[in-house]
Structure 1
Amino acid sequence: KKYEEWLSNINFSSSDQKFIIDTLYGCITHKKLLDVVVNIFYNHHGKKLFRVDRNLFIVVCYLAMFCLDDLGLEHFSRIIKSLDISKMHKLLHFYFCYLLIVVSKHSADVLILIIRWCNEIEVLLDQLAKKMGRGNLPKKSPRKNTKPREFDLTQPKARPLPAPEVIPQQDKPKPKPVPTTTHRSPKEPEILDDMKQRNRQKAFQILNEANSLQFRCANPQKSEKTQNVLSQILQSHDAELQFDKLYTSGSPATQKINSLPVRLNTTAILREGALYNRQLEEELQRLERLSQGASEPSAFLQWQKEMKEKDLQEELAELERRRLEGRISHEEAVLARERVLEHNHHKAQQTKEETAELMRKYAEKRLKEEKEMRELVQQVADGHKNSKAAKDKMQEIKQRIVKEVSEHSRELLSQALEEAQAELSRKMELIRQIRAFESVPLVRQKFVDDTESAGHDLLCEMSLAELRERLARLRESEQCELEDRRQRIFQEKQLKEQLLLEQLDNIALRKSLAEQAALRSQEEKRMRNELREAVSRDERVLTLQKTLEQKQQERQKRKTEKSSMKKNEQVLPLTVKTTLNKKQVLEEQHWQELERNLAQQIYGTLQPSSKKNGELYKNKK
């Protein structure tokens, strides 16, 4: 907007204003590229140019790079000639000659533009060079002829204006004070803003309540108060239970009897010893509770352990699923990144191939043009054979003059080189002498007697010899303390090793006892299994069990029949009821005797089979 106001204040045409605005916008858009070109130009001619002209060089580079086709050579040369000739000659020579080598490695479009306008710009550079050779002569302005004027003697003087009448002064009225409401903002917008804020907060609160209590009528769940009461009841029940207490139900069976021994460190030995002591105390407490009539919670602990294992398995499965999903998403991201890289590589390869094809076509076109120019030169040379001899003679004369001048300059250069070499050798000799003086060491030794003090008359003053003696005694005392400490540490270490050995002996003893108990329990379990198998295989036992089951079924059937009969015979007299009760008691006694006899028979058959199995087990041992 500032530039537009400035342009509107200056009387420019609409086309000029449009050209200035487009140039400014283009310089801002391509600022990075233009900064690179101008920085290279300053690095090349930095000592001979001012930083004030940087914006001028940026504008000229923009016109030469992007607007040369639209402007044309005539308008462009007019702009260049209106500026400083030497600066513009340096800039154009740098841009169209030196920058051609740099840009050819990076941008093909700029290269094509530079090559297309190279011949026309060379003509412009020649014109600028000629002007620089003549120098900047000031333009002579045309002389203005004097124009005669008539005398103003015959003109009459103008009449003076009449004196103005005096206006009577009136008393100025006192200004009224400005009311306070004039510069104070009204309260209505503030009240409205407060009301809007309160209404917004109220709406948010109602929305949150609606979201939290949605579908409350159709919600089959219990109310919040009921859930709180239920949770309190469950917490009280859980507090009464003893989930986390440890109970030992004997040492578990193990299959790793022949495993290799593990080398334990001090912490592990002490920890295992404490564990065995704690287990021993818990076992004693359990036996004491059992002796007092407590129940064995092994079944409940087994159920609790199974439920915990089940929950742990579900949690591990969920963790594994999440881990696999994360791995899958990571692999998908890697594949997507590889696809993007391949696409970019393919696109870059395609652009490289296109640029190579354009360069090849341009080279072919250039070769064709050079061939045509060569043919044209050959035709012109054939037509000017007569002037060739004169040109050769002139060339020989020029070469002879150049040779003489070069020999003279070579002699002058050799003489100057000898003088510079002599001056350099003289300076090197002076530098060598200065370094030799600097390398001589200075004597800075000070002879001091170690047995004498400094003589400052202080109580703590002492000589170097006394200080060394005291330091030696202090070092000896520290050495003695260190030896005592080492001896004490060694004794503590021996006591600790003895304690560890005792703990290891106790641990080994308890492990051997546990292994023996496990072997015994395994052997007893195997014996019980063999007894069960032998009993289950015995035909007599099977027949007796079948008969017992038949009797029990028959008894149950008779009970059901009697109960039905009782319901039908509720009207009978008391005498009949008493007789029936007596009969029922007698029948029950009869059936109990039969069951007792069957149990004795089964026990009698089991005893010889168990004796046989025991003898077989002893023989196997």
Structure 2
Amino acid sequence: MADCFVQFYEKLYNSGNPTEGDINQFLDNLTFKKISKEEALTVTDETFVLETLSGCIEYKPLLDVVVNAFFVRDGKHYVSLFTVICYLATFQLGELGLQGFSRIVKSLDIAKMNKFLRFFFNVLNLSTWIRDEWNQIYDSAYVKEHWIDPLLKWQPKVEELINQLADPLANGVTPGKALTVTAPNEFCLTVPKPRFVPVPEPIPLQEKPHLIPPSTYKPPKEKRRLEEIKLMNRRKAESTHSFPWQIDNVPIKLNAAAILREGALYQRKMEQELNRIESLLRGARDPSEFLQWQKQMRGKDLEHQLAEIECRRLQGKLSHQEAVLARQNIMQENQRKAELKREETAEMMRQYAEKRLQEEKEMRDLVEQVVEGRKNVKQARARLQKYKHQIVQEVSEESRELLCQALEEAEDQLRKRFELIQQIRAIESLPIVRNTLVDLTETPGYGLQGEMSIVELRERLALLREAQRKAEEEKRDQIILDKQAKEQLLLDKLEQISLFRAALGKAAALRSVRFLTWRHKTNLLFRLDRSMNCPRGCYLK
């Protein structure tokens, strides 16, 4: 079964684009089921196939580094084949073992596997560009610990497998799958039957339409029930508004935030009413004149802003025109500079030509001088030999003096080193007193600021703990006092809110009673007018 794994991966990898869409949907489609049925895989083999395919898709950027580099060198063929082999060698070699991995490799084309494994398990490739390319995708430490080091560890054993694959190739034998020769058979041709005129299909009758149910034009029961509840609530609200004293005084539980918020609302209303009364006492007037003046001033401000916008727009147009003129001036200046540059270039070329002519003339003169100098070569050699001999004598005398000086310095350093070693050995030979007594009341004597003994340090730590405990107790008492003060404030606010609500309820009740009394009197007067046949409203007058 291990022999058909890679062929299965190749079929499944080439059956679609596994990098697009969900991998689980791809593995559950009809193509996977069809290929699994053709290869007759067991449950264990099918699980191994799915895990390997998922790993190939997940680590596709990592595997493409090796496979694409191999294709650049040996041509692009069998993309999925080499991808799967690279994945098995990198991630599953420890689980498969060398024997299982060898069975999968030997079941394939040995020449291609030999090339790819020799390329991938090359120590130079793994240690240089493959590691650098993988470091750009994943963390360098993770790559080295989990992938590069295991591959380098397996490299000697895989090298033996590569040599085994290379032996059949060296002998000229290319093992592969057995070829089945197909025998040609005659074509089984059938005589076509004569065509016949097709029978016309019967025209389908139109089905009888269904009647529209009466419930289509009637509102549902839920909607009617909601309308009735809405009407009842409206009537109840109207009756409550006419007779507010009939409302049940249902207590509402308020939290601290709601109490403070409602207290602040009533306080603000009371301050506004006091401010209004005070302004009326001071002789406040109708604010309509001020509002009219404010409206006029806002209109003037708007006109001023529009004028400024128009001014800025005109300034922008002027700036654009100036920019166009400046661009034209720059273009003319650039043309003039280009003309000057061309003239300078022509002048430099002319000077270069003159310089070349001068150099050629100097070279001819130099050649003539060399020809004349060859005549006196023997005299020049004798003078040179004498000069070299003199230099050698001077250098040998200087080197002898430097060597003597270096020897004296070396002897001096050795003597000083020997004396230092003797002093160290004398110090080491002295006995060492290892039993030391520690006095907890004595200061170390390092010369630091605030230096103290261990006893004093312990006392100060005890004092700090006591001070910290007292501070925590004071803070706890303060929190309790603050909590009590807050509760008292909420109680005061609740009392104030209840007073405001009672006052507002009484005022609303008085207004309702007055309104009902006036309405009742009016109805009585209208009835009297109607009974006495008097003009309407005469009694009201």
Larger radius of gyration: 1
TM-score by length of structure 1 reads: 0.26
TM-score by length of structure 2 reads: 0.29
